Amino acid sequence: MKPIRLMSGFLTVGVWTLLSRILGFVRDILIAGWLGTGPVAEAFLIAFSLPNMFRRFFAEGAFNTAFIPLFSKKLQNGDDAEGFANDAFSALGTLLIGFTLLALVCMPWLVLAMASGFAGDQRFDLAVSYGRIAFAYILFISLAALLSGVLNATGRFAAAAAAPVLLNIILIGTLMLAESGLLQDRVGITSGAGAAPDGLHHGTMLVWGVLIAGMAQLALLWRAAARAGFAIRPHWPHLTPDLKRLAIIALPAMLAGGVVQVNLLVGRQVASFFDGAIAWLSYADRLYQLPLGVVGIAVGVVLLPDLSRRLAAQDDAGARHALSRAGEVSLALTIPSAVALMVIPLPLISVLFQRGAFDATDSAATAAAVAIYGLGLPAFVLQKVLQPLYFAREDTRTPFRYAVVSMLVNIAVAVSMAWLLGYIGAAIGTTVAAWAMVAQLWAGTRSMGSVAQFDARFNHRLGRICAAAAVMGGVLWLMAGLLAPALMMAGWRYLALAGLVTLGIVTYFGAGHLIGAFRIAEFRGALRR
């Protein structure tokens, strides 16, 4: 795979992910406006996070981490890649059906594990009911993730990157349908003792929308795989030698995925003891996930199969070039995003979310979390760049050990900071743990030789990227103060925020071009390709 194809893959995944995240913002703005940070909102967020948590454990976090390198090598060597994909699909589907049935029975305990602060109030009953509906999403989205791995390994990124757009379109449509009052008497759910909370109908419609979206995503990717020449036909799974190898590689990745989810659990447990905190952290998460999704996930998705195929072909020089360009592009787009999140979090949150049931207090609390997450954003993205170096070598044990250390750091920091600073301790723990993970991943690459070293061009440009981002941060801070009245005025605040963001973009790319952090022509050329 040529470097041009690699950059084209980054942009394909990035553009579709950007569209998905923008639609995700629209979805969350509607949820914030109609549900605020009340019990229905928090119950839905916990219920929705359950299948997503285990999806990362089974699919993207573990199964695909092991599946993509093996599948890529079969493609490279001309082996029966389609047969292997069919076996993996059938095995994963069988495992997930059994796991889903078990989870439905154990849902009260799963909710307590996620948010024990819900015990004894109506949020708990709502979260259990919502969770039992939403959890089947894991079956559809995990199988869809495996099909995404098949497509990504063959260099076809568009369909897999576009699938999340379906989720947000369906959820936005569901919210609009709920607001219209249609199906008011047909869709309902119990909320335990006491009067039904505000927004119950919206929350119930939303949770059914999650299930429908999962089916739609799987159907889209199944068809895309068939058109790419991979006719996936589920069958009763047989433990073939390839599946045994897949299980051996996947097990440490699954354990590492479990450690990552413990980190998320720690944050939610801390937040569940503070009213509204789960919603504050969730909305803050959405904001920093925008650049993380567009950049970090795009790089991770494209880099793993590319490195796997290059290492299988013993193309060390090509692998180093791919790693360096991935790191360069990632940091060139992530560092200014991180600076912006730290410098102007309140204008961003207040303009995007403050309306209806989401008030100024909610904006201030969410903005504080955004600033902390912004500090950790480069670390979240660097993990996506460095981990493929291990996974492409079928080494999932080393990242697992690093993840355990990161988990312990997160627990210690989040719990101790919660005593001092309240809910914000969860965000601090997440950020510190992310940097601890990066430090370990970077130290572990020393034994990999020149393949794992960034080249001279990367080292030359990194300092200049930071300098350009610092200039942009100063301009944003100054202009945010000057535009403060406009940012609070109805109607004008959207225009003021758009102007502020545009000024930041122009300042960063202008300064970066002048001091040699990058060349504008490189971005134009990549976009044309």
The DSSP call for residue 296 is I
Burial (CB count <10 Å: 0-12, 13-18, 19+), residue 494: middle
The two three-digit tokens of residue 18, written as one number: 């950007």
The two three-digit tokens of residue 71, written as one number: 């599948």
Q: Are 281 and 271 contacting, i.e. CB atoms less than 8 angstroms apart?
A: yes
Query: Domain coordinates of the chain in residue numbers?
Result: 3-454, 464-529
Q: Where are the beta strands (DSSP E) in 330-438?
A: none
Tell me what pLDDT residue 317 has.
83
Q: Are 5 and 326 contacting, i.e. CB atoms less than 8 angstroms apart?
A: no
Residues of the chain with pLDDT under 70: 1-10, 56-64, 181-198, 253-264, 300, 522-529
Distance of CA 89 to the CA centre of its chain: 23
3-state SS, residue 471: helix
The per-residue pLDDT for range 37-81, each reduced to its tens digit, is: 778 888 888 888 888 877 766 655 566 677 877 888 888 777 888
Tell me what pLDDT residue 3 has.
42
CA atoms within 13 A on the CB side of 300: 21
3-state SS, residue 449: helix
Tell me what pLDDT residue 527 has.
54
Question: What residue spans of 1-106 are helical by DSSP H?
Answer: 3-35, 39-58, 64-77, 81-105
